[in-house]
Structure 1
Amino acid sequence: MQYKQQFFYLCKTPLSAEGPEHVEVVTRAEDSEDFPRVFKEYEELRSHAFNEDKIYSVVRADDIYDLVRTGTEKEAKEEAYEKAEQEIITNLQHRVMQDGDANAKGILKEVYGIEE
């Protein structure tokens, strides 16, 4: 097995993402000493999605942020999308049920094949 350097990538997956190509790498930790900076940014970007009890709620999220540890930006985007996909579906379903959001309904139907 050949050694492959790994980095922590902070990724942003929009609710409208249709695949890894729509995931944005916000930043990455260049080494272990840089990780606290990336983690702090991750916490700040997700802060709007916390409820009054300080618990993260995916239905309050405008975008899905995730920390991924892997070797390349391409792999980070793929892993981030895979991890975010179920949260995106949950968020969109909530928007359809609560607000009758036609855009969310369209994304669910066209991208995920889910009729709401």
Structure 2
Amino acid sequence: MNYKHKFFYLCKTPLSAEGPEDVEIIDRAESSDEFPELFKEYEELRSHAFNEDKLYSIIRADDVYTILRTGTEQEARDMAFDKAEQEIVTNLQHRVMQKNDSEAEAILKEVHGVES
């Protein structure tokens, strides 16, 4: 068994992301002691997407933020994109239905293969 040191990564995946290469690593915590500060930053970045009942809503999000625990930045990017992809599709579909957003419609079709 090979030991692999893991870190906590705070990742930002834009709604226009086409793959893991578009995921931004915002911050990294190297130990559990640093995690509370990283989580506080995560909550602040997502705060605009909460409704008046303090519930997070992906359709209000401008970007998808994720905290992951893994070994490398590339693994974090891959995991963040995989985890965010369904939320991105949901957000874009909502933008098309509610706002008739042609840019969101194009991203859905060209990047995610979803017809709206």
Whether 2:106 is the aligned partner of 1:114: answer: no
2:98 aligns to what? 98
1:115, CA displacement in angstroms?
A: 1.1
The whole-number CA distance in structure 2 between the counterparts of 1:113 and 1:71 is: 31
1:5, CA displacement in angstroms?
A: 0.3
The whole-number CA distance in structure 2 between the counterparts of 1:24 and 1:90 is: 20
1:113, CA displacement in angstroms?
A: 1.0
1:32, CA displacement in angstroms?
A: 1.3
1:1-116 alignment runs, 5 A limit? 1-116=1-116
Please list every run of at least 4 consecutive aligned residues from structure 1 whose deviation after the TM superposition is greater than 3 angstroms.
none
Provide the aligned C-alpha RMSD in A: 0.4
1:108, CA displacement in angstroms?
A: 0.3
SS in 1 for 2:18: coil
TM (normalized to structure 2)? 0.99
After superposition, the C-alpha distances for 1:24-61 in whole angstroms (9 at most, x for unaligned) are 00001021111111000000000000011100000000
The whole-number CA distance in structure 2 between the counterparts of 1:87 and 1:101 is: 17
SS in 1 for 2:82: helix
The whole-number CA distance in structure 2 between the counterparts of 1:41 and 1:28 is: 11
Instruction: For 1:4, give the aligned amino acid.
Output: K
The whole-number CA distance in structure 1 between the counterparts of 2:113 and 2:37 is: 38
Q: Give the gaps of 5 or more residues in structure 2.
A: none
After superposition, the C-alpha distances for 1:73-110 in whole angstroms (9 at most, x for unaligned) are 00000000000000000000000000000000000000
The whole-number CA distance in structure 1 between the counterparts of 2:2 and 2:41 is: 32
TM (normalized to structure 1)? 0.99
SS in 2 for 1:25: strand
The whole-number CA distance in structure 1 between the counterparts of 2:89 and 2:97 is: 12
Instruction: For 1:112, give the aligned amino acid.
Output: H
Q: Give the gaps of 5 or more residues in structure 1.
A: none
Instruction: For 1:15, give the aligned amino acid.
Output: L
Instruction: For 1:8, give the aligned amino acid.
Output: F
